A and B are shown apart, each in its own frame.
Chain A
């Protein structure tokens, strides 16, 4: 079934550790995104990619980095985790529906990774 897969679902780590949150999609989408969200709160865009070898920073300043070497894979890395990084991280993907300037950008979300940094 076409979906967006995030691993791990839950992660508890100590301060200073390097971690990578995995995101893969089988939707065949060209665009992918990472959002940071505290439970039930605002969705903050931290990184996005419109295609292979294309990555951009979002509106929320983040100490994380991303890469897009394959269309279906968009991992997010924290070089040195801190307690302030404790949050939920949601991966999303989209493809623009046909329609030219009125094209839709329908985004689908993964189930998220809940990160706790002690």
Chain B
């Protein structure tokens, strides 16, 4: 089955800096890669996703890149703000199957 590795487990940055979280997956048939943000005490929420026919996708300050050959994908957050502090989860799945999540990255943005 699919296995998703996520690094780093914790990440601390200064406000305004960039943050990068990386994930690798094992199942070459996986074709959907979402990222979820979970603020303290709240439910995980989708912030951006990418399908395997696209190499990069951007939405304002966040972007995701995908390298299918190497089987890894990354989340990039630019100009970080304190409200970006949260736990971020990457995930992977084949079409129509359950998402398999990475272990999460706790991002702390200090002002």
Contact = CB atoms under 8 A, between A and B. Distances in A.
Nearest to B45: A109
A100 B31 CA distance: 11
Interface string B1-30: 100000000000000000000000000000
Contact of B96 (A33, A40, A59, A103): A103
- Chain A residues touching B, majority SS: mixed
Interface string B46-71: 10010111000000000000000000
What class of interface size applies to chain A in its complex with B?
A: 20 to 34
15 contacts: A31-B96, A41-B103, A42-B103, A48-B98, A59-B1, A90-B43, A99-B95, A102-B31, A102-B53, A104-B49, A104-B51, A105-B95, A106-B34, A107-B34, A112-B43
